C-alpha cells in the first residue's frame, strides 16, 4: 500500500530511495543510479560470510557470563569508538542536509509542514548512520535466533537507539554552530568538527601511547581501582548500560531505544523552526566578498611563474569549504608530531613512512585542484605564455604547501638522526612530486565541487597516485631503518623494490599521458 503524498512516510520512502540510488553514483556530479548487480552480489557474499562468522562466534560463547566486567569494559571501549564514528557521520550528513542539498527550497515552499520535512531528514540521517552497523552486527542477531539465543535480537533496538542519539547530537551541534558563527562558517566548521570527532579516539590513543610510563601506570591503577571491588564501575553502574544493551540484554536495549525516541521527538519538535531559519540564513548569505577598503590595486611586477602560483593559492584560500576537505588529512598527522618531538626513542621508519604517505596524499589533492579542476584551461592554452612555465608553476603551487607543512618535523629529524632524516626528506620530496606528476599526466578535467568524488571519476589516476605514495612511503621507512643502523639484506631488497615500484608508477603515468584528455 503506497503512502499518501506529502506524508512523513512518503517523504521518508523518498529519502531512503535517494540514499539507495546515491550509493551507486560514481561521483558527485554523476547521474543517480542504483548499485550495480556485481556490487550487490559482492555485498551479499560478504554478508553471508559475516553470518557464518557470527554463528561460529556465538557457538563458542555459549555459557559466557555477560556481566563479567572485562567483557563489559571491552564492549564499552568498542562502543565509544563506534559512537565517535557515528557522530562524525551525523555531523557530515547534517552539513550536507543544510548546505549541499538543492531541494530544500522547493520543499519549504510547498504546502508540506516544515516539521515533517525536518523529521524525515533527521530520520534519514539516523538511518544512514545505522546502516553500516546493521550490516556488520545484524548477522549476530540472526545467528542468535538460529541458536535459540533470542536475547541477541536486542542488537536491533540497541544499534538504532545509538544511531538516533548520535544523529540528534549531530544535528543539534550543526544548528548550534549556525546560530553562533553563522551559516557560512558552519559549513567549514561542521566538516572539520565531524572529522575531528571521527579521529578523536585515534588521536587520544596515540597520546596515551606516547605518554610516560609513570603516567600510563597511574591511569592503569585508577582504572583497576574503579573496576575492582566496590568501585565506581561496579556491575550495576550506569556506565555499562550501553554495553549490556549490545550484549543482548532486552531491558537495557529497550531503555536505550526509549531514550533515543524521546531525544528524537524533542529534537524534531523544538528545533524544526530553527532548521528553517538556518536554511533561510544560508540562502540569504551573500556569495561575493566585500571590496577592499582601499580599492582594487593592480600590480604587474611579478613574473609569470610567481603570478600563477599566488593566483592558485588565493583561489584555494577563497574557498573555505574546499580547504576544510583538504586539511582533514592533516588531522592524522598530529600523532606523528607527538612521536617526533617526544623524548622517547624515535621510531624512525614509521615516522618517515607516515610523513611520506600523508604528504603524497596532500600533494595529490592540491594538484587535482590546481591542475585538473582548472576553470579556464582553454584560456591558459591560448595565452601568449609558455605552456611549460604554466605547468611548472601549477605543479609548484601544489608541491610547496605539503613541503612547508613537514619542514619543521623533517628538520627535527635531521637534527636527531642526520642520515635517517635526510632519507626521510628524499622520500617525502619524491612522493610529493610523484603525486603531482601523476595528476598532471593522467588527470581528467573536473570541477572543484566534485572534490570528494575525484577518485571514483578517474580510477586510473587515483590508483597510480595511491600506488606511488605507498611505494615512496615504503622506501622512506626502509631507508630510515638503514640510516638508523638496521642494515640487512631484506631491508636492502625491500628498498630496491620500493624504489623500482615508484619509478614504474611514474613511467606508467608518463606512457599513458596521451590517452587521457588533460585539463592543462
pLDDT in tens, 362-380: 888 888 888 888 777 777 7
Q: Given a cut of 70, is residue 236 above it in pLDDT?
A: no
Q: Is 298 helix (H, G, I), strand (E, B) or coil?
A: coil
Predicted local confidence at residue 430, as pLDDT: 93
φ and ψ of 361, to 5 deg = -65, -45
Of residues 187 and 1, more confidently modeled: 187
Mean pLDDT over 46-72 rounds to: 78
**CA–CA dist 440, 442 (Å, integer):** 6
Q: Which of 169, 178, 140, 182 is nearest to 56 (CA)?
A: 140
Q: pLDDT-derived band of residue 405, with 50, 70 and 90 as boundaries?
A: confident
Q: Given a cut of 80, is residue 410 above it in pLDDT?
A: yes
Q: Given a cut of 70, is residue 422 above it in pLDDT?
A: yes
Instruction: Confirm if 407 and 421 have CB atoms less than 8 A apart.
Output: no
Per the structure block, which three cell numbers stand in for 384?
601568449
Predicted local confidence at residue 164, as pLDDT: 92
Mean pLDDT over 404-421 rounds to: 86
Predicted local confidence at residue 518, as pLDDT: 52
pTM, two decimal places: 0.65
Tens-digit pLDDT profile for residues 92-121: 888 777 776 666 667 767 777 777 778 888
Q: Given a cut of 70, is residue 389 above it in pLDDT?
A: yes
Of residues 292 and 5, more confidently modeled: 5
**CA–CA dist 518, 493 (Å, integer):** 36
Highest mean pLDDT among 60-74, 167-181, 185-199, 226-240: 167-181
**CA–CA dist 462, 364 (Å, integer):** 9
Predicted local confidence at residue 434, as pLDDT: 92
Q: pLDDT-derived band of residue 246, with 50, 70 and 90 as boundaries?
A: confident
Mean pLDDT over 220-246 rounds to: 67
> How many other C-beta atoms are found inside a 10 Å radius of the C-beta of residue 215?
11
Q: Given a cut of 70, is residue 210 above it in pLDDT?
A: no
Percentage of the chain lying above the pLDDT 90 cut:
7
Predicted local confidence at residue 377, as pLDDT: 75
Q: Given a cut of 90, is residue 231 above it in pLDDT?
A: no
Instruction: Please state the domain extents for the chain.
Output: 69-283, 311-515
Q: For all residues of the chain together, what is the average pLDDT?
A: 77
Amino acid at each position: 500500500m503506497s503512502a499518501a503524498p506529502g506524508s512523513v512516510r512518503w517523504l521518508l520512502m523518498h529519502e531512503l530511495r535517494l540514499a539507495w540510488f546515491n550509493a551507486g553514483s560514481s561521483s558527485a556530479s554523476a547521474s543517480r543510479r542504483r548499485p550495480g548487480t556485481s556490487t550487490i552480489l559482492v555485498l551479499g557474499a560478504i554478508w553471508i560470510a559475516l553470518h557464518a562468522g557470527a554463528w561460529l562466534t556465538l557457538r563458542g560463547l555459549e555459557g559466557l557470563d555477560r556481566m563479567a566486567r572485562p567483557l563489559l569494559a571491552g564492549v564499552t571501549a568498542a562502543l565509544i569508538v563506534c559512537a565517535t564514528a557515528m557522530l562524525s557521520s551525523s555531523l557530515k550528513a547534517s552539513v550536507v542536509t543544510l548546505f549541499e542539498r538543492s531541494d530544500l527550497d522547493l520543499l519549504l515552499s510547498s504546502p508540506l509542514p516544515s516539521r515533517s520535512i525536518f523529521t524525515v531528514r533527521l530520520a534519514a540521517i539516523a538511518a544512514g548512520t545505522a546502516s553500516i552497523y546493521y550490516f556488520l552486527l545484524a548477522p549476530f542477531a540472526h545467528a542468535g535466533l538460529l541458536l535459540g539465543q533470542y536475547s541477541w535480537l536486542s542488537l536491533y533496538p540497541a544499534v538504532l537507539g545509538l544511531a538516533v542519539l548520535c544523529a540528534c547530537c549531530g544535528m543539534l551541534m550543526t544548528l548550534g554552530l549556525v546560530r553562533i558563527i553563522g551559516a557560512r562558517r558552519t559549513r567549514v566548521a561542521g566538516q572539520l568538527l565531524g572529522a575531528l570527532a571521527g579521529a578523536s579516539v585515534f588521536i587520544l590513543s596515540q597520546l596515551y601511547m606516547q605518554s610516560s610510563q609513570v603516567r600510563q601506570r597511574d591511569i592503569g591503577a585508577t582504572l583497576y581501582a574503579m573496576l575492582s571491588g566496590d568501585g565506581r564501575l561496579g556491575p550495576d553502574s550506569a556506565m555499562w548500560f550501553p554495553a549490556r544493551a549490545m550484549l543482548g540484554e532486552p531491558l537495557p536495549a529497550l531503555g536505550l531505544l526509549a531514550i533515543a525516541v524521546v531525544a528524537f521527538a524533542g529534537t524534531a519538535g523544538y528545533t524544526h523552526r530553527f532548521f528553517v531559519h538556518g536554511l533561510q540564513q544560508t540562502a540569504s548569505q551573500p556569495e561575493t566578498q566585500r571590496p577592499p577598503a582601499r580599492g582594487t590595486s593592480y600590480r604587474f611586477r611579478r613574473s609569470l611563474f610567481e603570478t600563477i602560483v599566488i593566483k592558485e593559492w588565493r583561489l584555494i584560500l577563497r574557498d573555505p569549504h574546499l580547504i576544510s576537505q583538504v586539511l582533514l588529512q592533516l588531522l592524522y598527522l598530529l600523532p606523528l608530531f607527538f612521536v617526533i618531538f617526544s623524548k622517547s626513542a624515535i621510531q624512525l621508519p614509521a615516522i618517515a613512512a607516515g610523513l611520506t604517505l600523508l604528504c603524497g596524499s596532500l600533494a595529490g589533492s592540491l594538484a587535482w585542484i590546481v591542475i585538473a579542476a582548472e576553470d579556464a584551461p582553454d584560456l591558459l592554452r591560448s595565452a601568449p605564455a609558455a605552456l611549460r612555465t604554466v605547468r611548472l608553476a601549477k605543479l609548484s603551487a601544489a608541491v610547496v604547501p605539503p613541503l612547508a607543512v613537514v619542514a619543521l618535523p623533517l628538520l627535527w629529524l635531521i637534527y636527531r638522526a642526520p642520515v635517517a632524516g635526510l632519507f626521510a626528506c628524499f622520500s617525502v620530496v619524491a612522493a610529493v612530486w610523484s603525486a603531482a606528476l601523476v595528476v598532471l599526466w593522467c588527470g581528467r578535467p573536473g570541477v572543484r565541487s566534485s572534490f570528494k568524488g575525484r577518485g571514483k571519476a578517474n580510477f586510473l589516476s587515483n590508483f597510480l597516485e595511491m600506488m606511488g605514495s605507498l611505494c615512496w612511503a615504503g622506501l622512506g621507512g626502509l631507508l630510515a631503518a638503514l640510516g638508523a643502523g638496521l642494515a640487512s639484506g631484506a631491508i636492502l631488497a625491500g628498498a630496491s623494490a620500493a624504489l623500482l615500484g615508484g619509478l614504474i608508477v611514474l613511467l606508467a603515468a608518463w606512457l599513458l599521458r596521451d590517452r587521457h584528455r588533460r585539463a592543462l
